[in-house]
Structure 1
Amino acid sequence: MAYATPDVRERSRPMTREEKKVILASSAGTIFEWYDFYLYGSLAAIIGAQFFTPFPEATRNVFALLAFAAGFIVRPFGALVFGSLGDLIGRKYTFLMTIVIMGVSTFIVGLLPNYYSWGIAAPIILIALRMLQGLALGGEYGGAAVYVAEHAPQNQRGYFTAFIQTTATLGLLLSLVVILMVQGYVNGNYPDQPVLDAAGVAVIGADGAPAMQKAFNAWGWRIPFLGSIVLLIVSLYIRMQMNESPAFKKMKEEGSASKAPMREAFGNWRNGKIALIALFGLTAGQAVVWYSGQFYALFFVQNVVKVDSFSANVFVAWSLILGTYGFIFFGRLSDRIGRKPIILGGCLLAAITYFPVFGFLTSTANPMLYNAHQTPIVVSADPADCSFQFNPVGTAKFTNSCDIIKAGLTARSANSDTVEAPAGSVASVKVGETLIAGYSGSAENAADEKKRFDGELNAALTAAGYPINAADNTTVAKASHFFDIFSGQKLTIVLTLTYLIILVTMVYGPIAAMLVELYPTRIRYSGLSLPYHIGNGWFGGLLPATAFAISAQSGNIYAGLWYAIVIAVMTLVIGAIFVPNNTHKKDIFAD
């Protein structure tokens, strides 16, 4: 696909055919790469049951989300490695390396035996593969943003780079569509499978029969991962057709390339302060709004509101379809009014509306659960007996009576208050007027006590109106197929989720152009990649696990939203003071 490079410094004009090819080539490969990365996020609950079998459900969910976050934690290191390579050897060849690492790692996840086959080695290898994916993605985004921006007309950078901004959402959408298709086919054509414990033995249910799970949950989830090898081949072909960016060529021809882009970008205060402003005044807030609106919303609807996974994926997929054009709209708008007011406006709206919006999701998607929250639940516990149930290395055992009660309530999406009990006492919980004694997980009769406690808690919550038995809940939203959204309840859910996606497009649509404009060509790839991936990898990637743990500790299913709100407000304040205005008017070839 050889073509002559257009004069990218021309002012406003229609997008040329060659520029469309550049955007298509960059975006298509990036969509596939995001698809690979987000398969895990979409299947976090199912994968958690496969690879974190020994842990209680609440702890297992935290670990599953942390394994997802592991890919984000290492993204800044990928930014350092591949950002430096992108400034030294070029944008194109860095693209090729990142896509190979991502594709191969994803394929291996589909082959990886689970916990009862390989024991502790299985989750360790899983997290290692997630880290490889994160390294690859750390080098991918900066290169795609820089490559497209350096091909764009000066006053259309927001519009051009907005197509790159859609790739993350389109990659998520593609992963959801593939999951829904595979899930429907596998569950419709293969019988249910027994649930296995950590030793590979079938779990026996309360009725004395083996507990069963859908075939997709047992093994069908692997198919989307294995199928990614096809996307890898297509992505490699697309990337091989790309030419180097004109700005990089010009820099090389003039001999002005940096010999040490990392040191130049971050080793002096002049450039280092730009990274700090970009991180705290732009990308941190953008990240928490982005992950709240897409991943935490999906996790919340599925695991907290108790909408089945198929229906939750359908609702989120439709919200992505309806909201994705917002990236293009706000990218184009940022070419006219600037990037800063749109990004900070999205952070402000998120901070103001998250609590009512997520509460509305609960009341709409599961009215029975929402009404049950009106019943007071009080946990009486010695404060020393209550732990913060967030353990990234998996070494802690939450066996205190307070921890067991709170984990049990969180797994059932129950809201509760905690009152102080005498020191040394065993925690208890009162559901309405029913008092239930807790127990210590370290006691000799812990297994019998667990069975007694779970039975009493389920009975008390059922009496209070909680939909413990999902089959008895006729109020929860359910989609029988992908187009089954045309009822008042389901359309309301989709539109509510679409509002969250619109906030995502506000903060994310203009961010690539904004970051490109902050740095000169010689260190642009390195300079923008690190603050972007620290913001998204650490502030954003840790959001689902952190929010879930905060909710478990506080006893309120909405408390985890404070994490996103506080960071969004921090970015709003710092960005308003320190982020420069009118970067959209900058000539990025003049530096």
Structure 2
Amino acid sequence: MTTTRTGTKPAAKEYDRAAMASMVGTTVEWYDFFIYAQAAALIFADLFFKPMGSAGQIVSYVTVGISFVFRPLGAIVAGYLGDRLGRKRVLVATLAMMGAATVLIGALPTYASIGIWAPILLILLRIVQGFSTGGEWGGAALLAVEHAPTKRRGFFGAFVQMGVPLGMLLATGVLALCTFTLTDEQFTTWGWRVPFLLSVVLIGVGFYIRSKVSESPVFAELKERRTESNTPIRTLFKKHPKQVVLAALSFIGTNGNGYMVIGGFIVAYATKTYGLGKTELLIATLASAVTWGVFTMIGAYWSDRRGRTTVMNVGNLAMILFAVPFFLLIDTGNLGWIYVAMILFSVGLGLSYGPQPALFAELFPASIRYSGASISYAVGTIFGGAFAPTVAQWLLGKTGGTLAISIYLALLAAVSFVATMLIKDRSGRDLMV
């Protein structure tokens, strides 16, 4: 069991409560992201960027990535406050900002109604989403891992990661229901707003669950001893720059490959290239989400026994080896093979993704851990998935095929493989150090 130096020990139900509180926030985050990414891939070019003509689709994909540019700023601010004031307070604030921006996107007038102000407001709301998300993951990961028993940190930390498949499941389910029950005209006119507005329900649930969880026992002891850092950001970059760089690079493979699934590119590509239905492809994404979730928990559970870096590199290797076969299956244009591609692709994603919260938490000292985990994660998303759909669309346009995209994804996973090998596995370390 994880025991702080004061001898206090979280009750068993507090482990579960912290894990649920962490998971619900990341579920909202990824629900928000996924509905935006799919809308950007399918209709936002016409609704917000129509005057740009054929370049509108590229710009629409850029708005998916632009929020990631502001994640490091959010990570810096949230990391500072989280290391000074506590994990729980910051997580409540990030959830409120993130949810409000999503609901407002659902109520936003289009270019046809207010002209140039429509894309400007859309981009501003994406920036707010990026800023708030920059501080969400790090705090959620620490809340789960710092409450967890020492030998089960990987398992409990993975509940944070389950926000991705759960957010995908919820968002894809809502989008599939909308595209199935509404005509294309209805969906384009008003139906696309429904998934954004429904996020208010998730936000309410998130606030309720997070209000019930206690502060991280590690931070509580830091506060009691008065050993929290006054300058966590400066200390982080002065004493631990190598850890930040390696942690960020260890994530770009999973992040970049994952955004092929959740970033809307595959759905848009298969729809426009092979004339397949949106609903059928969204259901394929649902199957991918389930697989991703299952192997995320398997990877996390396995990391508690074999070490974080070992399991993450099994996932990285799987992504490297499957990068080319993935698009070969997609390019059959056959829905059955696309299902196979999406499901197999998610195996490596889950194995590399599950151990990440525990790895990041164990990598940094307690007094600067929120800053270290958040900034590393945010930087990794910029160089990994932030513009992966944009890069993929550009490579497709330049080469006329998908082989270049496969090579790009394999290179991202290879970088993560090397970076993960260079990280010293600290599984089971004392989190108060």
Name the TM tier (shorter chain): over 0.9
Higher helix share: 2
Match of 1:36 among 21, 32, 38: 32
* Inter-partner Cα distance in structure 2 for 1:150 and 1:298: 38
* Inter-partner Cα distance in structure 1 for 2:225 and 2:103: 42
Answer yes or no: is 1:256 the counterpart of 2:101: no
The alpha-carbon deviation at position 321 of structure 1 amounts to: 2.1
Answer yes or no: is 1:329 the counterpart of 2:307: no
Answer yes or no: is 1:540 the counterpart of 2:385: yes
Partner-residue secondary structure (3-state), 1:183? helix
Answer yes or no: is 1:27 the counterpart of 2:26: no
Given that residues 134 and 374 in structure 2 are in contact (C-alpha distance below 8 angstroms), is that contact kept between their aligned partners in structure 1?
A: yes
Answer yes or no: is 1:580 the counterpart of 2:431: no
Match of 2:44 among 42, 47, 58: 47
Given that residues 74 and 135 in structure 2 are in contact (C-alpha distance below 8 angstroms), is that contact kept between their aligned partners in structure 1?
A: yes
The code of the aligned residue for 1:586 comes to R
* Inter-partner Cα distance in structure 1 for 2:418 and 2:21: 37
* Inter-partner Cα distance in structure 2 for 1:325 and 1:242: 26
Partner-residue secondary structure (3-state), 1:584? coil
Answer yes or no: is 1:339 the counterpart of 2:308: yes
Partner-residue secondary structure (3-state), 2:246? helix
Q: Which string of whole-angstrom CA distances, capped at 9 and with x for unpartnered residues, describes residues 325-377 of structure 1?
A: 11111101011111112222222222222112211122152xxxxxxxxxxxx
Given that residues 327 and 402 in structure 2 are in contact (C-alpha distance below 8 angstroms), is that contact kept between their aligned partners in structure 1?
A: no
The alpha-carbon deviation at position 279 of structure 1 amounts to: 1.8
1:521 corresponding residue in structure 2: 366
The code of the aligned residue for 2:203 comes to L
Q: Which string of whole-angstrom CA distances, capped at 9 and with x for unpartnered residues, describes residues 474-524 of structure 1?
A: xxx4xxxxxxxxxxx3xx432321111111101111111111110011000
The alpha-carbon deviation at position 242 of structure 1 amounts to: 2.1
Answer yes or no: is 1:108 the counterpart of 2:104: yes
Given that residues 92 and 210 in structure 2 are in contact (C-alpha distance below 8 angstroms), is that contact kept between their aligned partners in structure 1?
A: yes
Partner-residue secondary structure (3-state), 1:55? helix
* Inter-partner Cα distance in structure 1 for 2:268 and 2:211: 37
Answer yes or no: is 1:265 the counterpart of 2:236: yes
* Inter-partner Cα distance in structure 2 for 1:300 and 1:88: 45
- Once the two structures are overlaid, the 10-residue window that deviates more, 85-94 or 301-310, is 301-310
Partner-residue secondary structure (3-state), 1:38? helix
Given that residues 517 and 588 in structure 1 are in contact (C-alpha distance below 8 angstroms), is that contact kept between their aligned partners in structure 2?
A: yes
2:60 corresponding residue in structure 1: 64
The code of the aligned residue for 1:548 comes to Q
Match of 1:230 among 201, 209, 230: 201
The verdict on how the C-alpha distance between 1:556 and 1:184 changes in structure 2, with shifts beyond 3 A counting, is closer
* Inter-partner Cα distance in structure 2 for 1:361 and 1:285: 20
The alpha-carbon deviation at position 303 of structure 1 amounts to: 4.0
Partner-residue secondary structure (3-state), 1:559? helix
The alpha-carbon deviation at position 80 of structure 1 amounts to: 0.7
2:395 corresponding residue in structure 1: 550
Partner-residue secondary structure (3-state), 1:556? coil
* Inter-partner Cα distance in structure 1 for 2:261 and 2:306: 24
Match of 1:153 among 141, 149, 153: 149
1:399 corresponding residue in structure 2: none
Given that residues 319 and 495 in structure 1 are in contact (C-alpha distance below 8 angstroms), is that contact kept between their aligned partners in structure 2?
A: no
For the aligned residue pairs, the C-alpha RMSD in angstroms reads: 2.1
The code of the aligned residue for 1:531 comes to S
Answer yes or no: is 1:291 the counterpart of 2:136: no
1:392 corresponding residue in structure 2: none
Which runs of 5 or more residues in structure 2 are unaligned?
6-10
The verdict on how the C-alpha distance between 1:364 and 1:116 changes in structure 2, with shifts beyond 3 A counting, is closer
* Inter-partner Cα distance in structure 1 for 2:212 and 2:189: 40
* Inter-partner Cα distance in structure 1 for 2:89 and 2:217: 15
The alpha-carbon deviation at position 572 of structure 1 amounts to: 1.9
The code of the aligned residue for 2:428 comes to K
Match of 1:278 among 218, 238, 247: 247
Partner-residue secondary structure (3-state), 1:227? helix
1:184 corresponding residue in structure 2: 180
TM-score, length basis structure 2: 0.93
Q: Which string of whole-angstrom CA distances, capped at 9 and with x for unpartnered residues, describes residues 383-421 of structure 1?
A: xxxxxxxxxxxxxxxxxxxxxxxxxxxxxxxxxxxxxxx
The code of the aligned residue for 1:66 comes to V
The alpha-carbon deviation at position 215 of structure 1 amounts to: 0.9
Given that residues 103 and 228 in structure 1 are in contact (C-alpha distance below 8 angstroms), is that contact kept between their aligned partners in structure 2?
A: yes
Which runs of 5 or more residues in structure 1 are unaligned?
10-14, 188-212, 366-476, 478-488
Answer yes or no: is 1:75 the counterpart of 2:71: yes
1:512 corresponding residue in structure 2: 357
The alpha-carbon deviation at position 8 of structure 1 amounts to: 7.0
The alpha-carbon deviation at position 6 of structure 1 amounts to: 8.0
State the aligned residue count.
Answer: 428
Percent identity over the alignment? 32
Q: Which string of whole-angstrom CA distances, capped at 9 and with x for unpartnered residues, describes residues 94-130 of structure 1?
A: 0111011111111111111111212222111111101
1:317 corresponding residue in structure 2: 286
The alpha-carbon deviation at position 323 of structure 1 amounts to: 3.6
* Inter-partner Cα distance in structure 1 for 2:262 and 2:242: 30
The alpha-carbon deviation at position 74 of structure 1 amounts to: 1.2
Q: Which string of whole-angstrom CA distances, capped at 9 and with x for unpartnered residues, describes residues 223-282 of structure 1?
A: 11122222222222222222111000001111110001111111x1x31121112122x1
The code of the aligned residue for 1:257 comes to E
The code of the aligned residue for 2:95 comes to I
Given that residues 293 and 503 in structure 1 are in contact (C-alpha distance below 8 angstroms), is that contact kept between their aligned partners in structure 2?
A: no
1:564 corresponding residue in structure 2: 409
- Once the two structures are overlaid, the 10-residue window that deviates more, 19-28 or 156-165, is 19-28
Q: Which string of whole-angstrom CA distances, capped at 9 and with x for unpartnered residues, describes residues 46-89 of structure 1?
A: 122211112334x2221111111112221111111111111111
* Inter-partner Cα distance in structure 2 for 1:249 and 1:75: 26
